[in-house]
Homo-oligomer: A and B are copies of this chain.
Amino acid sequence: VPGQLTFVANMKYAHQVSETKASAIIVSKSFPSYPVRFLRANDPYFAFAKALELFYKEPKTRGGIHPTAIIGKRTRLGSHVTIGAHTVVGDDCWIGDQVFIFPNCTIYSDVTIGQASVIHSNCTIRERTVIGRRVIIHNGATVGTDGFGFAKNEAGEWYKIVQAGRVVVADDVEVGANTTIDRAAIGQTEICRQTKIDNLVQIGHGSTVGENSLLCAQVGLAGSTTVGKNVILAGQVGAAGHLTIGDNVVATAQTGIPSSVGPDQTVSGYPAIDNATWLRAAVAFRRLPEMLKEIRRLHERVEFLEAQFTR
C-alpha cells in the first residue's frame, strides 16, 4: 500500500518485490536492484523491528499512583513509578524506579520488581518473587503460584507439600499472557536474562530456563526441568521433569521430551528423537498399512518358495 514500509528478510520472496505497492522496502545489502525504493541494512528483519518503533505508540500514558491502588506496609516505591487503578501491592515490597504496573494486578508481599519493568493488567505476582529490570509481564500471567507437589500419605491420599521456594525472573525477560510460573518447593524457579516466554506456557516448580531462550505458546515444563541457553521450544512442546535440555537445542512444535537432550540438537516427535530421523520416519508412517500388506505378501511368497524347494 502506498505510504507503507515493508521488508524482505528471505531471498525466496525477492521476486515479489516488483509487485509491492509499499513506498519503501528494507532489504539486505546484497539484495538485487529493482525499480523500487530500497533501504539497505545488514539484517533487514532487525532493521524493520527498529523502523516499526518509530510508528508505535505505547499504551502507557498515566503516571503516579492511582488513588484506588492499595500499597502495603513498609513497601518502598522508586521514582516515577506508575501503579494503575485497583492494583493491590502487598507489604514489604520493593518497586524500582520507572516500574509501570497496570490496573487490577495483585502483588503479594515481599516482592521485588526491578527498574523499568512493566506488569500488564490482571496479573498476579506471588509472595517473595524477584523480578529483574526491564521485564515485561503480559496480561493475566501469574508468577510464583504454588508448584504441583503432593506426597501420598498413609491413607493413599495426596498430601500437599508446601511450596516454600520462590521464583526469580532475571533482566529483560518477557512473560506471555496467562502464562503460569510456579515457585519451587524449596530453592527457586529461575528464568534467566533475555529469555522470552509466550502465552499460556506452564513453567513447573524448580525449573530453570537459561539465557536468551524462546518458549513458544502452550509449552509446558513439568518441574525441576533445566533448559539451557539459546534454546527454542516451539508451540505446545512438553518436557518432563528432572531432565536437562542442552544449549542451542531446538524442539519443533508438539515435541514431547521425556529425557535429557544434549546441546545443539534439533529434536521432534514423542518421544523426542533427532529431527532428520523423525522427518523420514513421519513420511514412512503413512505407508504403514501398505508395509503391513507387503510383509504379508512376502511371507506367503517365501513360504511358497520354501515348499517348492523342500518338495
Chain A contacts to B: CB under 8 angstroms:
42-43, 45-46, 48-49, 52-53, 55-56, 59, 61, 66, 68, 70, 84-86, 88, 90-91, 102-106, 108-109, 120-124, 126-127, 136, 138-140, 142, 145-146, 148-154, 156-162, 164, 174, 176-178, 180, 182, 185-186, 194, 196, 198-200, 202, 204, 212, 214, 216-218, 220, 222, 230, 235-236, 238, 240, 253-254, 256, 258, 269-271, 273, 277-278, 280-289, 291-292, 294-295, 298-299, 301-302, 305-306, 308-309
Contact = CB atoms under 8 A, between A and B. Distances in A.
Contact of A254 (B108, B238, B298): B238
B124 A121 contact: yes
Contact of A49 (B159, B218, B273, B295): B159
A56 B164 contact: yes
Contacts of A122: 104, 106, 122-124, 140, 142
A172 B220 CA distance: 25
A220 B222 contact: no
Contacts of A156: 212, 230
B217 A217 contact: no
Nearest to A291: B295
A177 B145 contact: yes
Contact of A68 (B70, B258, B282, B292): B70
Given A56-B162, A148-B196, A284-B288, 18 more contacts: A42-B154, A46-B154, A68-B86, A70-B85, A106-B122, A142-B178, A148-B199, A150-B196, A158-B194, A158-B212, A180-B217, A199-B202, A202-B217, A222-B235, A253-B258, A271-B282, A281-B289, A294-B299
